[in-house]
Amino acid sequence: MRRRDLILSAAPWLASVSPLLLGATTKDYGDPDAVYGALRQQRHVALSMHGGTMDVVFADGATDLDRTLVLAWILRCAEAVSTYFGRFPVSRAGLLVIAVDGRKVGSGTTFGFAGSAIRIHVGRSVDEDTLNRDWILVHEMIHLALPNVPRQNLWLQEGNATYVEPIARAQAGQLDPAEVWRWSIEGMPKGKPMPGDRGLDYTPTWGRIYWGGAAFWLLADVEIYEQTDGRHDLRDALRAINHASGGNGANWTAQQVMAAGDRATGVDVLSRLYGEMGAAPVQTDLDAVFARLGVSEVNGQLVFDEGAPLAAFRRHLTRRV
């Protein structure tokens, strides 16, 4: 295949990108247009993953980055996300891997306005153990699953990825279930409303967006399970939202997202919770929620109560699928 043929066939999901981007030569991938331009222009590796394809581009050749190691990590992350959603969330996505100095996985960003795409920074000296412990790429891949919502509802997207990421990894056998609950117990209180805060739609602070949003999805998960007598949980709602929207290339209102999830479970938990927590600073007794799930932290150690009312649900959430 000629190089030009390879480039043009690299990413049909990018057909809507402006022709002006095809001539871009910028090395600054902080600009989303440059990300899409690189995905369109540069050589790629197509990875098939549970009903979807990811076109992986190593930006500018990603000098000194171990591609075999990185590609295995990408497939591992996709396995976790596909386990939770029942398939890879979109039919096609692009992933721009940018090599940087260091031994860690750096920041990631997900885009959807011109096709599903992720930008991720990876240290040139990163090792297999570090990649296997990484959560960032799974978090970004989860963003592919939900439709784009208005800016004031960003907490729904970020909170969802924050909540689902460790659960997805546990269900794929990639994370000890105890770590899921440790992060939840230690993280979610950071999202509680502070004096002067308003509802989640109107308080765009880091804690509220990520951990306040995560608490919303935890409460929804518990209530769906209880109200359906264990027939459904949040995963059923999120799979339905993903199926109906096609993923992050769609633009929906928050109300559309909630309604699609509620239709799948047969209860109005999402719409009701959104109406309450989006508009007003709801104080949630998280200790009581975790107590019902049968998990607490005492002197830095996790303690599990298998006789708690929702202990079976807690085990169900993080059981390997």
Q: What's residue 63's pLDDT? A: 83
pLDDT value at 1 more than 80: no
Task: Choose the weakest-confidence range: 1-10, 85-94, 113-122, 260-269.
Answer: 1-10
Distance CA 180, CA 183 (A): 6
Residues 6+ apart with CB under 8 A from 195: none
CB 153 within 8 A of CB 55: no
Range of 1-5, 27-31, 258-262 with top mean pLDDT: 258-262
What's the CA dihedral at 265, 268, 269, 274 to 10 degrees?
A: 130
Q: What's residue 17's pLDDT? A: 37
Question: pTM score > 0.85 for this model?
Answer: yes
Q: Which residues of 51-90 are buried (b: 16+ CB within 10 A; e: fewer)?
A: ebbbbbbbbeebeebbeeebbebbebbbbbbbbbbbbbbb
Cα distance between the two ends of the chain: 40
Helix (H) and strand (E) counts for the chain? Answer: 14, 7
State the number of CA atoms in the 13 A half-sphere of 92 facing the CB. Answer: 13
E strands, 64-206, where?
Answer: 92-100, 105-111, 117-123
Nearest to 113 by CA among 17, 245, 256: 17
Distance CA 120, CA 97 (A): 5
Q: What is the pLDDT of residues 194-226, one digit of tens each?
A: 999 999 999 999 999 999 999 999 999 999 999
Q: What is the pLDDT of residues 85-97, one digit of tens each?
A: 999 999 999 999 9
260 to 113, 147, 264, 271, 283: CA distances (angstroms): 21, 11, 7, 10, 26
Average pLDDT over residues 235-250: 98
58 to 1, 43, 51, 55, 92: CA distances (angstroms): 20, 8, 23, 10, 17
- Strand partners of residue 270: none
Joined tokens for residue 134 = 């990484």
Measured from the Cβ of residue 269, the count of other Cβ atoms closer than 10 Å reads 25
CB 269 within 8 A of CB 220: yes
pLDDT value at 285 more than 70: yes
